[in-house]
Amino acid sequence: MTLNGRIVAATTVLLVAIGLHSSAQTLTHYVKYESGGRTAWGLLEGDTIREVQGNVFENPKPSGRTVKLADVRLLPPADAKKVIAAGLNYRSHIGERPAAKYVGLFAKFPTSLVGHNADIIYPADATVVHYEAEICVVIGKRAKNVTEAQVKDHIFGVAPCNDVSERGWQKADLQWFRAKAADTFGPIGPAVVKGADYNKLKLIGRLNGKVVQETTTDLLIFSIDNIVSYTSRYVTLEPGDVIFTGTPGTTQAMKPGDVFEVEIEGVGVLRNRVVAEKQGTSQ
């Protein structure tokens, strides 16, 4: 079965479950995609995308157009002007080190974001490129100095993401400019999902099909509410901005040809292949 097929199957199972159990959470899958030279947002329903028009973060309306999932290229499901990430945010990742007193933040770039099935480019001068399976949140409403209790009203949805990191650069450079924010070092998708309880999510990372990371968001050192509230004290968050929330356990190196998947159970599976950088070509 293709990965697009797996997305369709997972979505179908989810929709059936919602229909059978009225107490289940209603999850809405929004995708951003390119088709026929057009970029659009849409609602993913089974294997069909129903295009929406207007601002997706403010009551989008159906346009009447539909397209098959298999016929589009999925893009990062965000409109990020800022990409912010929390580091060292699971005890399983920090080991014996004491936890910080406040969340440690760093920045990635919007140009680091790529969508589901896009390639992760392994730079020619890189030596140790690691995966970091994470859960990210996409902001849906402007947030400045919001309290933790207010955060849920400012989050549009959640998505699987991968905070790709070049460990050699991370140790050697003054800033994590290259190590964390190089092009393609921020896969996210396939969809941003509304309605999930982000405090009760299961995260799984797979390298070439083998589970290498697994956790739940109740084990975060700093909760998602805390991360967003703390960030908003210093940086105004706008609709479409993205926040990565931290990776669990021990990460490992990837190499060209590897495939890494990030799954948020019940939400979606992000898949990306690592590809060596081609030399002598401009982009």
> Comparing 7-11, 172-176, 273-277, which segment has the lowest mean pLDDT?
7-11
Same domain for 253 and 234: yes
Q: What confidence score (pLDDT) does residue 83 get?
A: 98
Same domain for 57 and 99: no
pLDDT band of residue 3 (cuts 50, 70, 90) is: very low
Same domain for 49 and 109: no
The CATH number for 175's domain is 3.90.850.10
CA angle 112, 113, 116 (to 5 degrees): 135
Tokens of 38: 């057009």
| Backbone phi, psi, residue 193, to 5° | -115, 125
Distances (CA, A) of 25 to 15, 135, 187: 10, 18, 26
Same domain for 101 and 59: no
pLDDT tens digit string along 113-168?
A: 999 999 999 999 999 999 999 999 999 999 999 999 999 999 999 999 999 999 99
What is the domain extent for residue 19? 3-75
Same domain for 253 and 178: yes
The CATH number for 39's domain is 2.30.30.370
Evaluate whether residue 282 is within a structural domain: no
Same domain for 113 and 175: yes
Same domain for 229 and 103: yes
Q: In this prediction, what percent of the chain has a pLDDT beyond 70? A: 90
Distance, C-alpha 201 to centroid of its chain: 13
CB 204 within 8 A of CB 133: yes
What sign results for the dihedral spanned by CA atoms 70, 254, 111, 186? positive
CB 193 within 8 A of CB 248: no
Tokens of 279: 């030399």
Number of domains in the chain: 2
The domain boundary residue, chosen from 75, 92, 121: 75
What's the pTM value of the predicted model, to 2 decimals?
0.90
Tokens of 39: 């970029």
Q: What confidence score (pLDDT) does residue 58 get?
A: 93
